[in-house]
Amino acid sequence: MYNILIGGAAGQGIDTTVSILEKAFKKSGYFVYTVKDFMSRVRGGHNFMLIRFGNEEITSHSNKLDGIIALNEETIRLHQSKLKKDGFILCDSNFKGDFEAIRIPMEEKAKEFGNPRVSGTIAAGAVLKIFGVDFNHLENVLDTSVKKAYFQVNMQAVHYGYEATDNIYPHMGGKYKDFMLINGNQALALGAIAAGLKFYSAYPMSPATPIMEYLSRHSTAAGVVMEQAEDEIAAINMAIGASYAGVRAMTATSGGGFSLMVEALGLSGIAEIPVVVADVQRPGPATGLPTRTEQSDLKFVISASHGEFPRMVIALRNHEDAFYQTARAFHLADKYQIPVIILSDQYLGDTTSTVKKYDLSEIPSNAPLVSAADETKYIRYRITENGISPRRIPGKGDYFVTADSDEHDEYGFITESADVRVKMVDKRMRKLEGLMEELIEPEFLGDEDCTTLLLGWGSTYGPIREAITTLNDISGGKFGALVFGDIYPLPVKALTKYAKKAKNIINIEQNATGQLASLIREVTGIKCTGSILKYDGRQISGEEIADRLIKEGYNG
């Protein structure tokens, strides 16, 4: 497995360099995993990306570097310490400083080629050579990474970089050539399309914006209307309006925008209009750290909005979940006529991973679930045993579909009756019984006989998975982990089972207060015995988890 860092200032075109590299690596057969560390600014500052690649599955970034590709001098200063003993630095010939490096006159050459912005492409060419990647797919790679008008000059640049360097690392082979290279936001958008998404409204907000941009670009192809709303309140009320009218609808945002959507969650709840809302988390509170990662909205979203109504919260663990669970979210929202909240985060959203092409036969449904016209008079909020009332689409027949944010009777008329009120609350709440039946238990990783049980949720899945492998290698099988995807209502079977056996229970979360741990205690009474909490806006890596647990003596 190799691991390289590409760093520079915002506006220096790191994106393009990385795009060329990750695609070329993958086309050469490698599994590729790329993470982004960007500042909330358009120019200047310091940005970097890490590309990890090899011939086996990779689920976490790593901070041990085989190479640093420095588009500016600062990159070297900031990251040199992470370089492995044999690691290389690739930089421009005119960078000052006393360090060993592969120096190429990138800036000079780029100017010579007539476009100063291709110096990163020269670096890309050099890196391909260093890692022994051949040029078979280069045209295709450049085609999708740079604008048509700049194709030729980039081609020239890659070739120049390639020629200017020597091969260092052998190519290890790999079977991932025909897999996809996709980030969490794209996977989520694709999952929604696969579930028959027809209407998407959103207000731009990092790190969720790429979802709306992806859907806008593919609007016509996918038959999706993507409408940019004036604010997040409009975005979710639009989604609910469209869903009421019979199309699958969704909105996505980050925590700040979600805060503005809270009232409308309750509208979805009481009017029983399905809606899917994705919260791509970033560190809060308020504006916080706009381009960084955190998992601090869990307790917020599970109890967001005044009053009480059933809801479902699914945390996305990886690029498979991002697709399949998003699609499932639509199905569950429809089936139970409830809001379903998807929790993603900047780490998963921006991280590109190699993924097997998704299997569409796994998608539960791709159109709203509508009841057959078996009634003479349609009763929108009919009280039923499972709490689910027959749903119909307005304008499709000789009946009326009502929807009301006030408490209402079976017909959807406003009521103040104490009796009807209780019946309606109970009816809505009964839906949870069905929902509980189809919860997916957290995935268990590691050794069945573990003495230390790690608990996590969402995007720490990958890092935890890597850590478990490392830790069990060292300890001979003392570690296990449960990582939650379905998180609210909380599935408790696996948890109860493994918690009984474990001596240590440690929650690993990207937040300051241990939100999963407190949810678990609330629901099951189980108390974690230790915790690893990270809230500096940077994702924990598998190495970091393993290191900390070893340092704290859990492998003993």
Partner 1 sequence: MGKSFSTYETAWCPGCGNFSILRCLKTALEELNIDPAKVLMAAGIGQAAKTPQYISANTFCGLHGRSLPAATAAKIANENLTVIVNTGDGDSYGEGGNHFIHAIRRNVNITHFVHDNQIYGLTKGQSSPTTAEGHVTNAQADGNLNYPLNPVLLAIAAGAGFVARSFSGDTKHLTEMMKAAISYKGYALVDILQPCVSFNKINTFSYYKERVYYLETDHDYTDKAAAMIRAMEFGDRIPIGIFYREEKPDYHTKHKVLASKMPLVDQKYDPMIVQNLMNEFV
Ligand X SMILES: Cc1ncc(C[n+]2csc(CCOP(=O)(O)OP(=O)(O)O)c2C)c(N)n1
Residue 229: Cβ within 10 Å count: 20
Position 266 contacts a second copy (CB under 8 A): yes
Position 307 contacts a second copy (CB under 8 A): yes
Q: Which is nearer to a second copy, 56 or 426 (CB)?
A: 426
Position 284 contacts a second copy (CB under 8 A): yes
Judged by beta carbon distances under 5 to 8 A according to partner kind, the member of a second copy, ligand X, partner 1, none in contact with residue 312 is none
From 55-63, 177-185, 500-508, 518-526, give the range in contact with a second copy by CB under 8 A.
518-526
Degrees, nearest 5: CA angle 370-371-376: 140
Identify the residue among 299, 382, 430, 548 touching a second copy (CB under 8 A): 299
Position 300 contacts a second copy (CB under 8 A): yes
Q: CA neighbours within 13 Å on the CB side: how many for 266?
A: 14
Judged by beta carbon distances under 5 to 8 A according to partner kind, the member of ligand X, partner 1, a second copy, none in contact with residue 85 is none
Identify the residue among 263, 410, 438, 441 touching a second copy (CB under 8 A): 263
Q: Which residues bind ligand X (CB under 6 A)?
A: 203-205, 232, 256-257, 260, 287
What are the beta bridge partners of residue 88?
A: 67
Closest separation in Å from C-beta 250 to ligand X = 17
Are the C-beta atoms of 36 and 351 separated by less than 8 Å?
yes
From 22-30, 134-142, 416-424, 477-485, give the range in contact with a second copy by CB under 8 A.
416-424
Closest separation in Å from C-beta 253 to ligand X = 7
Judged by beta carbon distances under 5 to 8 A according to partner kind, the member of partner 1, ligand X, a second copy, none in contact with residue 474 is none
Position 296 contacts a second copy (CB under 8 A): yes
Close Cβ partners of 228 (under 8 Å, ≥ 6 residues apart) = 201, 202, 203, 204, 212
Are the C-beta atoms of 291 and 282 separated by less than 8 Å?
yes
Close Cβ partners of 60 (under 8 Å, ≥ 6 residues apart) = 33, 462, 463, 465, 466, 467, 541, 542, 543
Degrees, nearest 5: CA angle 452-458-463: 55
Buried b vs exposed e over 421-452: b needs ≥16 C-beta within 10 Å? Answer: eebbeebbebbbebbeeebeebbbbbbeebbb
Q: Which is nearer to partner 1, 357 or 551 (CB)?
A: 357
Closest separation in Å from C-beta 97 to ligand X = 35
Closest separation in Å from C-beta 510 to a second copy = 11
From 120-128, 446-454, 536-544, 548-556, give the range in contact with a second copy by CB under 8 A.
536-544
Q: Which is nearer to ligand X, 334 or 404 (CB)?
A: 404
Rounded CA separation 496/196 (Å): 36
Show the tokens assigned to 535: 């809230």
DSSP string, 363-376: ---SS-----S--S
Helix/strand/coil for 257: helix
Position 496 contacts a second copy (CB under 8 A): no
Judged by beta carbon distances under 5 to 8 A according to partner kind, the member of partner 1, a second copy, ligand X, none in contact with residue 476 is none
Residues 366-405 that bind a second copy (CB under 8 A): 404-405
Q: How many of the chain's residues bind a second copy (CB under 8 A)?
A: 67
Show the tokens assigned to 254: 């980050």
Q: Which is nearer to ligand X, 375 or 406 (CB)?
A: 406
Close Cβ partners of 477 (under 8 Å, ≥ 6 residues apart) = 446, 447, 449, 450
Identify the residue among 406, 449, 473, 552 touching a second copy (CB under 8 A): 406
Identify the residue among 285, 394, 395, 476 touching a second copy (CB under 8 A): 285
Identify the residue among 139, 473, 536, 552 touching a second copy (CB under 8 A): 536
What are the beta bridge partners of residue 156?
A: none
Rounded CA separation 143/178 (Å): 17
> 378, 375, 371: which is closest to 411 by C-alpha?
378
Judged by beta carbon distances under 5 to 8 A according to partner kind, the member of partner 1, ligand X, a second copy, none in contact with residue 502 is none
Identify the residue among 112, 143, 163, 308 touching a second copy (CB under 8 A): 308
Closest separation in Å from C-beta 260 to ligand X = 6
Position 225 contacts a second copy (CB under 8 A): no
Judged by beta carbon distances under 5 to 8 A according to partner kind, the member of a second copy, ligand X, partner 1, none in contact with residue 367 is partner 1
Closest separation in Å from C-beta 343 to ligand X = 18
Rounded CA separation 322/329 (Å): 10
Closest separation in Å from C-beta 270 to a second copy = 5
> 351, 61, 27: which is closest to 174 by C-alpha?
27
Residues 88-147 that bind a second copy (CB under 8 A): none
> 171, 173, 222, 231: which is closest to 198 by C-alpha?
222
Are the C-beta atoms of 18 and 145 separated by less than 8 Å?
no
Show the tokens assigned to 506: 């440690």
Contact positions vs a second copy (CB under 8 A):
39-40, 45, 233, 254-256, 258-260, 262-263, 265-267, 269-271, 279, 281, 283-290, 292, 294, 296-297, 299-300, 302-309, 404-407, 416, 418-419, 421-422, 425-426, 429, 511-513, 518-519, 521-522, 525, 527, 535-538
